Structure 1
Amino acid sequence: MQKPTLRDVAQAAGVHVATASRALNPNTRSLVNADTARRVSRAAKSLGYRPNPIARSLKTAKSLTVGVVLPDLTNPLFPPIVRGIDDLLGPAGYSALIVNTDNDPAREKAQIDSLRSRQVEGLIVATARLNHPLLTELHQQDVKMVLVNRRTDHLDVSSVVPDDAAGIAQAVAHLARLGHRRVLHLAGPATTSTGITRARSFRNAVREFDLVQDPALIAPCDFWAEAEGARAMRAALDAGTEFTAVIAGNDLLALGAYDVCGERGIACPDDISIVGFNDMPFLDKLRPALTTVAVPHQQIGVEAARMLLEAIDGPARPARSVLLPVSLVVRASTRKPAAG
C-alpha cells in the first residue's frame, strides 16, 4: 500500500499543499488559521500521514535537532534535566540527540564531532570545566551552546545553573541551628564552577555562623562517584579529624558517606549528621532519609532548551546566565549533635 503524501493530506483537507505543510510544521503552524490547522491535522491523522523530517530539513536547511552532552548517563540527576529539555523541544518541532562522555575529553570531542556531523543546530552541554579548550574552540566556530549546571571562565556562553551558593549556605545554617560546630565538607573538584562555588559558599557560611574553621574539614572529591565520597570520608576519619556533621558537594558523595557510616558502625544521624545536594530521586527512601538541597533539574532543562532555541532563531542575541532558586529539604539524616 502506497504511503499517503502531503498532497493527499492537502486534497483531503481542501487546502493548498503549502498550507498543509505550514499547518503540520510546529514552527509555522501559527501562520495558519486555527480551524484550517485542525482540519489539516485531522486529515493527516485519518490518512496515517507522517511528515518526513529529512525532506523537511533539506527544504529548510535545518535539521530540527540539538545535541545534549552529558558526563554520565547513569547519574540520576540528568534524566529530569533531559525531560525538561524534551518538554520544550517537542512542541517546537525539535528532537534531542543525547551522548555520554564519561568525563573523558577524548570521548567528549569524538561525541561532539559526531553530533556536528549530523547537523545538530546547537548543543546543550553538562560537562563544562572552568578551563575547557573544546568549548572555547566550538564558541570560536559560532556553535550555538547553552551550559547546564556549569559555567566556564572567560567564555561568553549562556548557562542555566542552580543557586549553588544559596544551597550550601542553607545547609550550613540548618546544621548551625542544630548546634553543630565542626562540619566536614566533601567538596567537588576545583576544575568545575559547581565545585568551586559550593566550597566557597561553605567557607563563607562557616565564618558567618562562627563555626570551626579548619582546613582539614574541607575534603576535595571527584563529583561523579559515590566511591569518592566514601574515600574522602574514610580519610577524614582515619586522620582523626573531628566532626559531627557532613555537607556533601552532591548526593552521590553523601551516599559514599552513608557507606562508610555503615562499614564503621557509625550511626546517622545519632553520631554524624549528613546533608547532600541535588535531591536525586528516591533519597527519601534511604534509611535514614537524606536531608539535601533540592535543585529544579527539570526547570534547568526547560530553560536551557528555551535559551538554545532563542540563540538558534536569533544568532545576534547576547549570552546570558539564568540562576534558579534551590531549597533545603530536611529529612531524617540530620539532628542535634550528641551531648559531650
Structure 2
Amino acid sequence: MLSPRPVRLQDVADTAGVHPATASRALNPATRTQVSADTACRVLRVAEDLGYRPNPIARSLKTARSHTVGLVLPDLTNPYFPPVVRGIESALEPAGYHAWIVDTHNDPLRERAQIESLRARRVDGLIVATARRDHPHLRALHADGVPLVLVNRSVDDLDVPCVTPDDASGVTQAVGHLAALGHRRIALVGGPFTTSTGAARTQAFRHAVRDLGLADDPALQAEATRWSEAAGAGALRRLLDAGADCTAVVAASDLLALGCYDVLAERGLRCPGDVSVVGFNDMPFLSRLRPGLTTVRVAHHDIGAEAARMLFEAMAEPQRPARSSLLPVSLVVRESTAPPQRAERPPA
C-alpha cells in the first residue's frame, strides 16, 4: 500500500483560499506580520488540520539560506553559557532559525575545525564567544564576508558587532563596595590578558583603586591563565606565596572566585573573616555557596538575545556599520564580603 502523499504548501494555500506566497509568509514567524492577522490565523489553522510540515531543505534552496546559525562556545561546562544560549534561542526560534552549538574546549585548532564544520553545514552566520584580542581566524572569516557577532568578547581593531556586559562599571562597583566596607589593600585575580574581557576588567580595577586613593600595587595583581576555577586558585596562590598583604580579592569571574575559595580553605583563612571575595557574572546557584558569593550580576539571557538580534541585522544589511552593545550590570551583595577584621598580612 502506498504511503499518503505529504501535504504541500500548495495544499494549505488552496484550502485556506490564499496564494501560496501568502501562505508561506503566514507560516514563517519572521514574515507573519506581512499578512493580516485573520489570514495568518486561517492559514495556521488549515496547516495544523492538514498536518502540514515545512520542508527546510526546499526552503533553503529557494531562499539561499539554511535558517541556521553557528554558536561557537569555549567551554560548555562553564555555567556562564547555558543562560546565554537560552537567550540566543529565544530570539532565533520566533524567526524560524535554529542553532548548531559547538564547544572548542578553548583549543584554537579545534575551534578552526569546528567553525569550518559549521560553514560546511551552510550556516547563515556565526555567534562567537571564543574571541581573543588577536584572532586571525575571525579576521579571515570577516574578510570572507561571513556574518559574525561576538559575545562577551571583542577582537582588537576588528569591525564586527559585539555584545558585552559593562565590565568597567561592574569592576568599579565591586571595588567601591569593598572600599566602603573599609578595605584598603584589595587584590585582583584577573582573567587572561589575551582576552578583551580579561584586559578590560584589569584596566577597570586599576582605574577604580586609583580613583579611590587605594594602592595600585602590582604585588596585589595576578593574571589567571584561563577562565577556570583551577586557574583562579593558581593565581591567588602566587599572590599569597609572594606575601601579598590584602584583606579582599576581586576575581574577574565567578569561576576564578571559586578558585580563591579553594585556596583560602586550604590555607585556613576564613571568608570573609580574613579575606573578602567578590566575583563577576552571578552564575546560577551562587547563592547556595557558603558563604554566598558577592558578585556582579550580568544579564546573561539579554546578552544572548541581543547577540541574535544583531546577527539578524548583520545578515540583512551586510554593509551596515558594526555596532557594539554594552549591557548594564549590578552588584549583588552576599555573605563573602564584610569589613576587614585584621591588619596583619595573611599567612603564605
Amino acid in structure 2 at the alignment position of 1:30: T
Contact 2:22 2:35 in 1 (8 A): yes
Amino acid in structure 1 at the alignment position of 2:325: V
- Asked if 1:313 corresponds to 2:325, the answer is no
The equivalent of 2:135 in structure 1 is: 132
1:307 is displaced (CA, Å) by 0.8
Q: Distance in 1 between matches of 2:204 and 2:250?
A: 12
1:234 is displaced (CA, Å) by 1.7
The equivalent of 1:337 in structure 2 is: 340
The secondary structure found in structure 2 opposite 1:307 is helix
Q: Distance in 2 between matches of 1:143 and 1:162?
A: 24
Q: Distance in 2 between matches of 1:299 and 1:247?
A: 25
Q: Distance in 2 between matches of 1:74 and 1:138?
A: 26
Deviates more, 1:159-168 or 1:223-232: 223-232
- Asked if 1:92 corresponds to 2:95, the answer is yes
Contact 2:221 2:239 in 1 (8 A): no
Q: Which segments of 5 or more consecutive residues in structure 1 lack a partner in the other structure?
A: none
From 11, 25, 49, give the equivalent of 1:22: 25
1:268 is displaced (CA, Å) by 0.6
The equivalent of 2:176 in structure 1 is: 173
Amino acid in structure 1 at the alignment position of 2:311: L
The secondary structure found in structure 2 opposite 1:328 is strand
The equivalent of 2:211 in structure 1 is: 208
The secondary structure found in structure 2 opposite 1:241 is coil
- Asked if 1:45 corresponds to 2:48, the answer is yes
Deviation sequence 1:24-77 (CA, Å, 0-9, x none): 122332222211111110111122211111111111111111111110011111
1:138 is displaced (CA, Å) by 0.6
The equivalent of 1:253 in structure 2 is: 256
Aligned pairs for 1:143-182 within 5 A: 143-182=146-185
Deviates more, 1:22-31 or 1:284-293: 22-31
Q: Distance in 2 between matches of 1:170 and 1:35?
A: 51
Q: Distance in 1 between matches of 2:299 and 2:326?
A: 11
The equivalent of 1:117 in structure 2 is: 120
Percent sequence identity over aligned pairs:
65
Amino acid in structure 2 at the alignment position of 1:111: Q
Q: Distance in 2 between matches of 1:318 and 1:18?
A: 32
Contact 1:223 1:250 in 2 (8 A): no
Q: Distance in 1 between matches of 2:22 and 2:160?
A: 38
Amino acid in structure 2 at the alignment position of 1:314: E
From 58, 63, 83, give the equivalent of 1:60: 63
Amino acid in structure 2 at the alignment position of 1:142: G
Q: Distance in 2 between matches of 1:208 and 1:36?
A: 61
The equivalent of 1:278 in structure 2 is: 281
Q: Distance in 2 between matches of 1:146 and 1:16?
A: 36
Deviation sequence 1:61-114 (CA, Å, 0-9, x none): 111111111100111111111111111111111111111111111111101101
Deviation sequence 1:224-268 (CA, Å, 0-9, x none): 210011111222222221111110010000000111122222111
Contact 2:256 2:279 in 1 (8 A): yes
Q: Distance in 2 between matches of 1:320 and 1:216?
A: 37
- Asked if 1:328 corresponds to 2:328, the answer is no
Contact 1:223 1:252 in 2 (8 A): no
Q: Distance in 2 between matches of 1:38 and 1:185?
A: 57
- Runs of 4+ residues over 3 Å off in structure 1: none
Amino acid in structure 1 at the alignment position of 2:132: R
1:22 is displaced (CA, Å) by 2.1
Q: Distance in 1 between matches of 2:191 and 2:216?
A: 18
Amino acid in structure 2 at the alignment position of 1:249: A
Q: Distance in 1 between matches of 2:154 and 2:162?
A: 6
How many residue pairs get matched?
Answer: 340
Q: Distance in 2 between matches of 1:84 and 1:148?
A: 12
TM-score of the superposed pair, with normalisation by structure 1: 0.97
1:183 is displaced (CA, Å) by 1.0
Q: Which segments of 5 or more consecutive residues in structure 2 lack a partner in the other structure?
A: 344-348
- Asked if 1:75 corresponds to 2:91, the answer is no
Contact 1:122 1:145 in 2 (8 A): yes
TM-score of the superposed pair, with normalisation by structure 2: 0.95
- Asked if 1:292 corresponds to 2:258, the answer is no
The secondary structure found in structure 2 opposite 1:332 is coil
Contact 1:223 1:249 in 2 (8 A): no
CA RMSD, Structure 1 to Structure 2 (Å)? 1.2
The equivalent of 2:346 in structure 1 is: none
The equivalent of 1:141 in structure 2 is: 144
1:223 is displaced (CA, Å) by 3.6
Amino acid in structure 1 at the alignment position of 2:175: V
Q: Distance in 2 between matches of 1:104 and 1:335?
A: 39
Q: Distance in 2 between matches of 1:154 and 1:113?
A: 23
1:5 is displaced (CA, Å) by 2.3
The secondary structure found in structure 2 opposite 1:15 is coil
